[in-house]
Structure 1
Amino acid sequence: MTKSPRVKYITYYEDSESLPGKRTAVWELDKANHRNIVRSPVLMRELWLEMWHDIHPDKQSKFVTKATRGPLRDEDCYWDYGKARCAWPEHCEYRYVFGDVHLGQSCRLKNSSADLLLHYV
């Protein structure tokens, strides 16, 4: 795989099996200023979800894998140009609202955030 010099890549690694009872999540954002990394909406969203899961009284699992995570806000939905549809089709749909400038702005959540948060418990 060759990386495009104009694209920011996010590398995410999680491990909950190496040390029993412990878990590790590592984020690396290419081409990101490390002092301002906490301003990344993606990083803050994932951090918030992890904290929300950890303190939730009804949680059923110790660790929420990345495979089960989906968008929670309209801003998390985006247009997949390769497939000519909104990414996350099980969660997002194309719904144009006057003022949308590009296709990605017209991708919106199908369900409310409250329903989607239940997948993280």
Structure 2
Amino acid sequence: MTRSPRVKYITFYEDSESIPGKRTAVWELDKASHRNIVRHPVLMRELWLQMWHDIHPDAKSRFVTKAKRGPLRDEDCFWDYGKARCAWPEYCEYRYIFGDVHLGQSCRLKNSSADLTLHYL
């Protein structure tokens, strides 16, 4: 597998079977300073998803499923200069709003984040 230098990768490990009644989730973010990782938006998003999942009454699993990690906010959408379009084309679209300074600011979610968060239950 070749890794794109532009993409921030998330390495994760989840375990709820080794010790009955206990669970562990480990997240590692590539290209993030370990000192500043607690302020990193990707970690904050993952932490929010896990907390939201833990308190949601319709949660079907003990962990947030990581099989599908689409963007949840307009800030998660960005411009892919290599493909000349918004990254995550199934979730994001180019929609200019007055005041956008660069192409990445004009990439916005197609659907509401309320619909997208249901994938994490």
- TM tier, smaller: 0.7 to 0.9
> Could you tell me which amino acid in structure 2 is paired with residue 27 of structure 1?
E
The residue identity in structure 2 corresponding to 1:103 is L
Unaligned runs of 5+ in 2: none
Normalising by structure 1, report the TM-score. 0.79
Q: Higher helix fraction: Structure 1 or Structure 2? A: 1
1:49 equivalent in alignment to 2:27: no
RMSD, aligned CA: 2.6
Q: Distance in 1 between matches of 2:79 and 2:109?
A: 12
Instruction: Please tell me whether residue 58 in structure 1 is matched to residue 61 in structure 2.
Output: no
Distance 1:8 1:110 in 2: 21
Q: What's the TM-score, normalizing by structure 2?
A: 0.79
Shift of residue 102, structure 1, vs aligned partner: 1.0
Matched, 1:77 2:77: yes
Count of residues paired in the alignment: 118
Query: What is residue 26 of structure 1 aligned with on the other side?
Result: 27
> Which residue is 1:91 aligned to?
91
CA distance in structure 1 between the partners assigned to 2:4 and 2:94 by the alignment: 29
Percent identical pairs in the alignment equals 64
| Change over 3 Å in CA distance of 1:17–1:80 after alignment to 2 | farther
Distance 1:10 1:69, change over 3 A: closer
Give the Cα–Cα distance (whole angstroms) in 2 for the partners of residues 116 and 31 of structure 1: 25
